[in-house]
Amino acid sequence: MTQTQKHRWIVGQTRADREALHPAADAGQGIFVIDAHRNLRGPYTAAGELLRQLIPTVQKHWPELVERHVVEVLSFAPELRDVVQASRETLTSLAIPEERTRFYARVRTQRLTHGVIELLQKIAVPERMGRLQFVFENAGDCEHTDNEFFATILRRIHPAQIEVTLSSKPEMEWPMVREALDKYAERIEAPVIQRTAPSGADPLELAKRFVQSDGTSDVAEEIAAYESIADEQRQALHDQRAEELEALDQFSLTLGAIPWHRERGSSREAMLQGLKVPMDYCLNMGFYEACLDLGIRGRKFVDWSKENLEYMWAFMTKSTNSLAALGRTEEAEELYNWARENTDNPGALMQAAYATSMLHTRHHQVRNHDTARYWINQALELAANISEEKMRNFRTVFYNNGLALIEMHVGNHEEALRLVMEGYDRLVETHGLEQHKLHRSVLMNNKSHILSALKRYEEALEELNQVIEIDPNYPEYHFDRGNVYSKIGRLEEAIANYTRGIEISPPFPELHYNRASAYNRLGETEKAMADYSYLLEIEPTHIDGRLNRATLYLEAGDTEAARLDVLEGLALEPQHAQLLCTLGLIEMAEEQMEAAEKALRAALAADETLLEAYVNLSVLLFEKEDVHGSVEILTTAIGHHPQADVLYFNRAWAMQSLERFEEAVEDYTQALQAGSGDAQEIFYQRGACLMELGREEEAFADWKLHLADGESPYLDTIQQLAPALTHL
């Protein structure tokens, strides 16, 4: 987004200094001033409060906008369930804690953010609310989810439509936000306002002000007074404030201010529950940074003793789940090892064994399926000792599903299929059709993946049809079914499934990427281009999307646009072989042959097996009359791709031009044996080489085959040399 008008970044050491530059909040004028401090409501403190102020008006006047983005709205501001109906629930969102066996991907919060930003774009138009202004105070103290929101809204929305002001201390701790501010915002220094410290103020009253601010106050006198009063007085203030907030019955307060106060209050049980409840919610919602933070805070107050084990395990295992989702898998395994050192509780050891197995087969960057198998077997042995039959059966089915994943990863697809099918049947037999609906849907979806890997596509579709029937609002299922249709060439049906997934999901980059590919295969390049462009709007670092759009631009003759995409991609990944190859093609299209050769050789330096780079470099060298160089490149390429007909064809052509006719005949023959689609051309050229070698009978046989394939551009030549053939 190129822009001259910019958003604003107000910096100053104190809130009072910065607020002097804030506009007055006035919803009637479209001005919203919001405190972003994470202490207040945890995840989406800022963005959630913005929606709490906006959505009632939007719901009243333009309810269709809210309906389209209902998942995002209720994820940001759960209190709005009193205003907005949750119309797109899934088995995942509805599952009770005891049956929650699937968690969201870490990218979900970014998808939610894009959806809310698109809702805001639809609101801030002249026919609705017009231009809006958002001011976010304490932006440097925001929670991770608001960090994503700030960075994304600064990038995606032009200040002429919505002006965003972040107000913070000069030191911005979030690199993503700082980068966006540097690029899209004007930095404004707040003047220092001289203030006189109040004299004779009651320390307890000053301390109370700090507590009432939920720890967000930066007034030095309030902080000093808070630290100076007796522990009992501080605890009493926090207890009182927690009770006041709980009486408001606003769920998001349980994610921020209430646990903050309970940690500092007098009741240990209230404190532990005050941390555990929001931690469970944050894990289920995919707010993994917040879940991890709450788990770390909770573990400070408990140990591995029997009376503390339930809390310790909850704080630990939800931390490990979050670490795995965030890609911090080594830290997760360290915590499980720590648990094994400190408890012999069978339930904890069983869950730790399963989770460690999944780290090794799914999450670690370097996977070890043998180690994963060892740990899953440990989990299964412990599950077999569970006395309660239903729990024993569920755990066995659940862990065998993990074993099936390992079997998939090592190529034992039939065994994986057996485990999943037996698990489904066992779950239905012991729990019926009303319990564990979520996990049954997971098993059905896993079965479809295995069937697809076995190329049993119709059966995979049958399974997906059933799982979509029972969980129609889960977009990943439509994505998976679209992928199966795409594999078997039923592209219209693939597109319909990708489209349905887009309709019911927050922005989901992979849906647009795959739909663009399907459109492209159908020759609907304008629709493919639109999907690639939207993909790059929400995920500008998507390398394959940028490469594919550059290719479409190049095919359309727009080399300038193609070059911009390629250069954007190379700025992210300078040694990306396909991008370098495409740059070479752009240079060739613009007849910059030296630059083209440089780019194609760079592509091969990055990937010595890249067929497209070899083919185009050989053509370029041939056109530069470096035929020997072309032959050398093609010979190297054939070493990597011995079945590639195009390489033999191109080398045969080069050999023919060098009058090395025997070698040309041999290469043309190899191209035919490799299934070349240029058989008619090959028969003529091989015949011409055979004529040069004096092998007239063989040449005439080739030309006869050439003529049998249809009209020939070489008819005059053949009539002169073999007139009898043209009269057959």
Task: Give residue 427's pLDDT.
Answer: 87
On whether residue 131 sits in a domain, the answer given is: yes
Q: Are 614 and 631 in contact (CB under 8 A)?
A: no
The domain containing residue 74 runs over which residues?
7-195
Give the Cα separation of 258 and 234 in Å (integer). 15
- Which pLDDT value is given to residue 69? 94
Q: pLDDT at residue 3 above 60?
A: no
In a domain, 675, yes or no: yes
Query: Up-side HSE of residue 416: CA atoms within 13 Å toward CB?
Result: 24
Assess if residue 71 is contained within a domain.
Answer: yes
Q: How confident is the model at residue 1 (pLDDT cuts 50, 70, 90)?
A: very low
Compute the distance between CA of residue 359 and CA of residue 389 in angstroms, rounded to an integer.
28
Q: Looking at 160, 195, 230, which one is the last position of a domain? A: 195
**Tokens 């613009």 belong to residue:** 590
pLDDT at 93 over 80: no
Q: What is the pLDDT of residues 149-174, one digit of tens each?
A: 999 999 999 999 999 999 999 998 88
> Which of 195, 229, 260 is where one domain is finished?
195
Closest CA to 213 of 278, 261, 270: 261
Q: Residue 197's Cα: distance from chain center in Å?
A: 50
Residue 94, pLDDT score: 60
CA angle 314, 320, 325 (to 5 degrees): 125
- pLDDT at residue 147, rounded to an integer: 96
- How many domains does the structure of the chain reveal? 2
Q: Which of 157, 176, 195 is the last residue of a domain?
A: 195
Please choose, from the candidates 304, 229, 306, 242, the residue with its C-alpha nearest in 3D space to the C-alpha of residue 273: 242
Q: Which of 491-505, 522-536, 703-717 has the lowest mean pLDDT?
A: 703-717
pLDDT at position 198 is: 64
Q: Give domain status of residue 260, yes or no.
A: no
Q: Tell me the mean pLDDT in the region 347-361.
A: 96
Least trusted range by pLDDT, from 238-252, 538-552, 701-715 = 701-715
Q: What is the pLDDT of residue 558?
A: 97
Summarize the confidence of residues 459-477 as an average pLDDT: 94
pLDDT value of position 255:
98
Distance CA 715, CA 624 (A): 29
Q: Two tokens at 541?
A: 């670092």
154 part of a folded domain: yes
Please report, in angstroms and rounded to a whole number, the separation of the first and last CA atoms in the chain: 66
Do 198 and 205 touch, CB atoms closer than 8 A?
Answer: no
pLDDT at 155: 97
What is the overall mean pLDDT for the chain? 94
Report the predicted TM-score, pTM, of the whole model to 2 decimal places. Answer: 0.91
Determine, yes or no, domain membership for 590: no
pLDDT of 73-92, one tens digit each?
Answer: 999 999 999 888 877 676 66
Answer yes or no: is pLDDT of 209 > 90: yes
Q: What is the mean pLDDT of residues 672-683?
A: 93
* Structure confidence by residue, pLDDT tens digits, 307-341: 999 999 999 999 999 999 999 999 999 999 999 99
Note the Cα 159 to chain centre separation in Å: 27
Strand partners, 26: 31
pLDDT at site 430: 87
Percent of the chain past pLDDT 70, that is, above it, reads: 96
pLDDT computed for residue 96 by the predictor: 52
pLDDT single digits (tens) 567-616: 999 999 999 999 999 999 999 999 999 999 999 999 999 999 999 999 99
CATH of the domain at 157: 3.40.50
Q: What is the DSSP string of 95-116?
A: --GGG------TTHHHHHHHHH
Residue-wise pLDDT tens digits, 420-459: 999 989 988 888 777 778 888 889 999 999 999 999 999 9
Name the token pair of 115: 């959806």
**What pLDDT, on the 0 to 100 scale, is given for residue 432?**
79
Give tens-digit pLDDT for 213-269. Answer: 999 999 999 999 999 999 999 999 999 999 999 999 999 999 999 999 999 999 999
**Is 578 within the bounds of a domain?**
no
Domain membership flag for residue 595: no
> In angstroms, rounded to a whole number, what is the distance separating the alpha carbons of residues 203 and 223?
10
